[in-house]
Structure 1
Amino acid sequence: MNKTVVDQVGRSVTFTFPPKRIVSLCPGITDTLFALNLEEEIVGRTRFCIHPKGKVKNVPAVAGTKDIKLEAIQNVQPDLIIVEKEENTKEIVEELEKHFPVYVAEVQSVDDAFRMIEDMGSLTDRGEAASQLNAAIHEQFESLPKATGKRVGYVIWRKPYMVVGKDTYINSLLEKMGFINPFIEANGRYPVVTPDEFQSAALDYVLLASEPFPFKEKHSAEFLEIMPTTKPILIDGEMFWYGPRMMEAVSYFQKHLRFNSSKFLNPL
């Protein structure tokens, strides 16, 4: 039967329910669909959809997040394509909706991530599995480390330096742990930051993500030169993905981030 829903950006989408051939163009959503026991229904993904390892490789890569292979998508004949507003472009949505039902999710906060999981369950007739996943994540999140009042910058790019700003899942997760991110006052969700602006931010810690730019130990020295009293910490960017990685993230933070009475955050 056909079902019509309103997606997370207000678009009306009609598709065959439950969908039997799904293309997901967002890594966190692909990961979520696998967690909802939809392994047989997922027929296409992006090349950046790398989780769950060992399973996702069996699904054809039919796109990037900013580019698509229309012929490859047509070949897998999806009855529903799921995209995410930030990960994918408006142009991709406009092209794909000419041919297939396209549902647009939007995740800008931890609460949005829980809503996305619930909505994926509703879309795919996996409501119970979605509720169970959300309950398990909620339980894990009660054990998130606390860094109450500590000032942090989360750096995602180099040349120019770019940081996480307002209205992002990553910032929401940082706030959930008690961090203060001064860069939410800047324009844009991922603002460019100069060395002078880093210094003015009076950060306690600067988190250097492993992706999209692969920060390494050698880059820590750059930030120590800019901010000698700020501790640079290399962080696994995948632990700031929404979806099932949220379960893994809590144990990762507990293991790799320790707080004590000193100024610094100390990785094990």
Structure 2
Amino acid sequence: MSIIKDQLGREITLKSVPKRIISLVPSQTELLCELALENELVGITKFCVHPYHLKSTKTIVGGTKKVDIEKIKALNPDFILCNKEENTYDFLPELEKIAPTYFSDVISIQDSIDLILRLGSILNRRTESDNLAHKIEFKLVDFKHFIKDKPSRKTAYFIWAKPWMVAGNDTYINEMLKLNKFENIYANMSRYPKVEIEKIRYEGDPDVIILSSEPFPFKDEHAMEIGTYTNRSITVFGDGEMFSWHGSRLLLAFDYFKELHKKLESHF
């Protein structure tokens, strides 16, 4: 038996190394598979799309905000993995009655690396987690070298339309924007505020507008509508997983960011 702490500082008691895991976070489901824990994974959400085949081999227990408690109970898990941003505390008391429930809290790349190492230790995958952390750290150093001479560009990152919502401060997305020298014009606002696109010119008039691929399916008409309220913005459809998924997705994110900058350079 051991007592561990999650990233919220909550104490959790484990009787042994978990062997039946439920993940309620898509990026962390992908991470568990990267850590060679696919066999231990028994339940996932309907949004856990990587690796793709999991949806046909694992039990779907609901979404990230609403879960089927009875399905979770029937799977007899010994570890449930949640995230402060993705999940709601409303069902935490019910989950804790079923199994030890671990909450991650990831705002930065360092938080992500910390989570990888913690899970590696908790789930007996230290070698895999150490290797993954080293790969991410290597790619991060390489990307910082790539980006250091790039110009800063004022940016707005949209996650929803009507109501229009953006990524503000205190978010992992904002940290990814800063890493890319995308100066978030809404960094003075917290979390995911609603904004009026009619005022975007006066609130920063961004050089770049990023329409995220998730959670809202932006289309050309949304790009055109926002564009009517700006002076000179370049609008791109961004891969939301690269900007908002922590964990092993970072292995792909840095290369994606390089290609995004090359694409933008052709417009400026």
Is TM-score (shorter-chain normalized) higher than 0.5?
yes
TM-superposed deviation, 1:165: 0.8
Between 1:18-27 and 1:8-17, the stretch displaced more is 8-17
Contact 2:77 2:98 in 1 (8 A): no
Give the aligned partner of residue 162 of structure 2.
159
TM-score normalized with structure 2 length: 0.92
1:220 aligned onto 2:219: no
SS class of match (1:20): coil
Q: d(CA) in 2 for partners of 1:118 and 1:230?
A: 40
1:131 alignment partner AA: D
2:214 alignment partner AA: E
SS class of match (1:49): coil
Give the aligned partner of residue 178 of structure 2.
175
Give the aligned partner of residue 129 of structure 2.
130
1:191 aligned onto 2:190: no
2:70 alignment partner AA: E
TM-superposed deviation, 1:259: 6.4
Cα deviation per residue 1:223-245 (whole Å; 9 max; x = unaligned)? 21111311111111112211121
After superposing on structure 2, the runs of 4+ consecutive aligned residues of structure 1 that deviate more than 4 Å are 259-263
Give the aligned partner of residue 117 of structure 2.
118
Contact 1:82 1:103 in 2 (8 A): yes
Q: d(CA) in 1 for partners of 2:151 and 2:170?
A: 20
Contact 2:22 2:77 in 1 (8 A): yes
Pick from 237, 240, 254 the counterpart of residue 240 of structure 2. Answer: 237
* Superposed CA RMSD: 1.8
Give the aligned partner of residue 106 of structure 1.
105
1:193 alignment partner AA: V
TM-superposed deviation, 1:78: 0.3
SS class of match (2:255): helix
Give the aligned partner of residue 32 of structure 1.
31
Pick from 249, 254, 257 the counterpart of residue 258 of structure 2. Answer: 254
Aligned length: 262
Contact 2:80 2:101 in 1 (8 A): yes
Structure 1: segments with no counterpart, 5+ residues: none
1:59 aligned onto 2:58: yes
Q: d(CA) in 1 for partners of 2:199 and 2:91?
A: 35
TM-superposed deviation, 1:82: 0.9
Structure 2: segments with no counterpart, 5+ residues: none
TM-score normalized with structure 1 length: 0.92
